[in-house]
Amino acid sequence: MFSLVITAISIILLIATLLPMSHLSHWVVRGLDFPRLQLSALSFIVILIILIFGEYNAILMHISFTLSILCLLYQLYWIRPYTLFHQKEVQQCKAPSINRSLTILCSNVLMPNDNFQSLIEKIKQYQPDIVVTLESDKHWEKALTIIEEEYKYNVKCPKDNLYGMHLYSKLPLHNIQLRYLIEKEIPSIHCTILLRSGDTVEAHFLHPAPPSPTENTYSSERDAELIVVANSIKNNKQPTVVTGDLNDVAWSKTTQLFRRLSGLKDPRIGRGMFNTFHANYGFMRWPLDHVFHSPQFDVCAIERLKIQGSDHFALLTHLHLRTSKASTEASEILTQDEEDLITQRMNENNLKIKNHQL
Within 13 A of 167's CA, how many CA atoms are on the CB side? 25
DSSP label at 66?
Answer: H
Q: Is residue 290 part of a domain?
A: yes
Claim to verify: residue 119 and residue 188 sit in the same structural domain? yes
Per-residue confidence (pLDDT) for residue 112, from 0 to 100: 97
Claim to verify: residue 126 and residue 250 sit in the same structural domain? yes
Claim to verify: residue 28 and residue 141 sit in the same structural domain? no
Q: pLDDT digits over 244-285, tens only?
A: 999 999 999 999 999 999 999 999 999 999 999 999 999 999
Per-residue confidence (pLDDT) for residue 276, from 0 to 100: 98
Higher-confidence residue of 4 and 245: namely 245
Distance CA(1)–CA(150), nearest Å, equals 66
Distance CA(70)–CA(83), nearest Å, equals 20
Report in angstroms the alpha-carbon separations of 288 from 84, 107, 210, 355. Answer: 19, 11, 10, 29
Taking 70 as the threshold, does the pLDDT of residue 355 lie above it?
A: no
Number of domains, the chain:
2
Q: pLDDT digits over 216-234, tens only?
A: 999 999 999 999 999 999 9
A 10 A CB-CB count for 33 gives 20
Per-residue confidence (pLDDT) for residue 28, from 0 to 100: 97
Claim to verify: residue 290 and residue 341 sit in the same structural domain? yes
Question: What is the residue-averaged pLDDT of the chain?
Answer: 94
Q: Among residues 54, 82, 110, which one ends one of the domains?
A: 82
Claim to verify: residue 190 and residue 77 sit in the same structural domain? no
Residue 58 confidence class, pLDDT cut points 50, 70, 90: confident
Taking 90 as the threshold, does the pLDDT of residue 54 lie above it?
A: no
Name the pTM for this structure.
Answer: 0.94
Claim to verify: residue 63 and residue 177 sit in the same structural domain? no
Taking 80 as the threshold, does the pLDDT of residue 352 lie above it?
A: no
